[in-house]
Amino acid sequence: MTELTAFSFRPGASLLHGLDVRFKLVFLVIISLASLKAAPLALCVLTFVLIGVIIDIRLPIKVIFKELRYFLILLLFVFIARMLTTPGSSLIQFKAVSVTLEGVYGGILVCWRLVIIIMIGLSFVATTRPSEIKAAIQWFLNPFPFIPAKRVATMMSLVIRFMPVILDQAKETADAQRARGVENRKNPVYRLRKLVIPLMRRTFESADKLAVAMEARCYSENRTDPGLSSGIRDWIALFAVICLCIIIIKI
């Protein structure tokens, strides 16, 4: 589960911690979209802004890079694929494979944007309580008459809560099967079947227990509404973010 701990709320008193979650969600979307359009100079500007934000939040950068190492490997693959497949003037030629200048440039740009988007997401998640995210999504879904916003919000929070539990159970089941030599079976379908069926059964059993426990605590969809409040600070931040996005797109 350690792979997912980077994306978790960290209490603090930074600027981002103080902003209304609905605004932050909007920022997340528009900055991410703007960064897809950004040229290298704009990416530099965005990177500096982000570094400022991350320092303000006091994210433990070292820990985060360690936890995101698998993602960095993925980025490396993206970079290599981009480098080898983009046509253009070749830098290195080895038999049929050639590394092009345009490929290297394009690869760096794509990876840079992905890192920025991940960092924006991370800053958002690190400064926002899951319950607030849930409340914001409920708020955004409320105007749609055909979506049961409260039910969606409850489902979301249960997913966040039970993901690690289910992953732990999967690991336990896999370990127990390894202890009985499942690795000697080479057929992946057989192994998957033997893993998934007990895991599913256990998950459904926990779901049953969960439903009873929720009932015992008077669960109904008619609950206290989540407390969301916005102030002048949020509107100033919105103005600043829109300016930033215009700069990013225009540079």
Residues that bind another protein (CB under 8 A): 1, 8-9, 11, 129-131, 134, 157-158, 160-161, 164-165, 168, 206-207, 209-210, 212-220, 222-224, 227
**Closest distance between another protein and the C-beta of residue 147, in Å?**
21
- Cβ proximity to another protein, 55 vs 221, nearer residue: 221
**Closest distance between another protein and the C-beta of residue 230, in Å?**
16
Burial of residue 100 (number of CB atoms within 10 Å: 0-12, 13-18, 19+): buried
C-alpha closest to that of 110 among 130, 81, 138 = 81
**Closest distance between another protein and the C-beta of residue 190, in Å?**
29
Q: Rounded to an integer, what distance in angstroms lies between the CA atom of residue 50 and that of residue 32?
A: 12
C-alpha closest to that of 35 among 240, 238, 245 = 245
- Cβ proximity to another protein, 24 vs 134, nearer residue: 134
DSSP label at 221? Answer: S
- Cβ proximity to another protein, 89 vs 220, nearer residue: 220
Cβ(164)–Cβ(138) below 8 Å: no
**Closest distance between another protein and the C-beta of residue 76, in Å?**
30
- Cβ proximity to another protein, 190 vs 219, nearer residue: 219
